[in-house]
Amino acid sequence: MNTLRDTLYFAWTIGTKDILDAVKHKSSRANIMIMVVMVVFFYWFGTLRPFDRNVSVVLYDEGNTRLAFEPVILGDGAKYSFREATSLPEMQRMMAHQNLGLVVPADLDQILSVGGTPLLRGYVFWVDRTKAAEREARYSQAFTEMLGQTVKVAIGPNIVIPQADVDGMPATVAFQMVYFVFSTALLLIPHLMLEEKQTRTLDALLTSPVGSGQVVLGKALAGLFYVLVIGGLAMALFSPYIVHWGLAVATFLGYALLAVALGLLVGSLISSMKQLGFWMVALMLLLVIPPLFYLESNLKAGIRIVLTWLPSSALASLFRYSCSTGATWAQLLPNLAIVTASIGLVFGLVFWRVQRSDR
């Protein structure tokens, strides 16, 4: 009977062998590079948008100023558009998809009439907290051009942390994490089991002192390598959005373990690349659609409940909460329970499949 030390040794040996084989294998390296490029491209395209010259501003006018802020295109090509809020809390909530929140002081008209320099309080999101000084200079110059005289926009400590119950970039980031991690797992991990089957080395492993548990654990370690490379890159890129690091790391671990388990399960079920394509499409639809649509306000309540209780939606919710504030234990615990139960169930199915091969 294998001791714990033997189990870990066998698992480590299998895992490191698979990792080294992947690094040496041309197609595996190519797939890893494809996923790296996808992560960087979608991050750049979906969050940075350096080519986007549109600036959306939410205004809260403290004194019903006579000035009408209309959409305007400035000399540098930037287009500013405006939405009005009736209070400061409403302005902060409306900033979910906006670049800037701006409080117009009650005495703005008076200051402008005497040629003074009005001070506008600006608000930016948590993700831009390190760029507050740069944004102050940019927006001060922009509103000086709009109003025709010197204006000062002061941001300072006015950093808005997204609310947990408001849709916005945290939801987008959480969805992209689902897509990147599970795409990586389903593209790369099933090959760990499929190649063993096709070369008949899985049979040899199972008839050796190595048991089914060590095989699954070793394959899981190799799968984690793939997920940590790609998911770790995505996590690093999205780090400016993270507010609660403990929850973010725990959720990422949940992403990784569930993705590895699903990849191994698919690998244990298929016997050809053709079957792999079918399973990838089916599972990606099941994994990607729920976190993409479960927050839609127009969705029927029954459908929303079903989507919310799927593991990919639970993971997306947890990561969204890690990038926001105001989440309660009543919101966190059901999602944690769904993720934990799903990981245990899928790994249990993997062990069962491998044990059947052993027999």
Question: Mean pLDDT in the chain?
Answer: 84
To which residue do tokens 């690349």 refer?
A: 273
Task: Measure the CA–CA gap between 112 and 309, rounded to whole angstroms.
Answer: 55
pLDDT at 279: 83
Please check the confidence at residue 112 and state whether its pLDDT lies above 60: yes
Whether 32 and 71 map to the same domain: the answer is: no
Whether 169 and 152 map to the same domain: the answer is: no
Q: Indicate the number of domains in the chain.
A: 2
Whether 133 and 172 map to the same domain: the answer is: no
pLDDT (tens digit, 9 = 90+) per residue, 13-26?
777 777 777 767 77
Domain, as residue range, for 16? 4-47+165-358
Whether 279 and 192 map to the same domain: the answer is: yes
Whether 251 and 151 map to the same domain: the answer is: no
Contacts made by residues 31-34, CB under 8 angstroms, sequence distance 24+:
31/187, 31/188, 32/188, 32/226, 32/229, 32/230
Whether 100 and 230 map to the same domain: the answer is: no
Whether 20 and 126 map to the same domain: the answer is: no
pLDDT (tens digit, 9 = 90+) per residue, 242-261?
999 999 999 999 999 999 99
- Domain limit, last residue, from 160, 182, 197: 160
* Cα 293 to Cα 136, 172, 285, 297, 316, distances in angstroms: 36, 11, 12, 9, 11
| Prediction pTM value | 0.84
Determine the distance from the C-alpha atom of residue 74 to the mean position of all C-alpha atoms in its chain, rounded to a whole number.
34
- Domain limit, last residue, from 160, 184, 215: 160
pLDDT tier at 208 (50, 70, 90 boundaries)?
A: low
Whether 208 and 327 map to the same domain: the answer is: yes
Task: Measure the CA–CA gap between 108 and 119, rounded to whole angstroms.
Answer: 8
pLDDT (tens digit, 9 = 90+) per residue, 313-337?
999 999 999 999 989 999 999 999 9
- 48-57, 95-104, 216-225 — which is least confidently predicted? 48-57
Whether 214 and 317 map to the same domain: the answer is: yes
To which residue do tokens 């996808």 refer?
A: 38
Query: Over the Cα atoms of the chain, what is R_g?
Result: 26
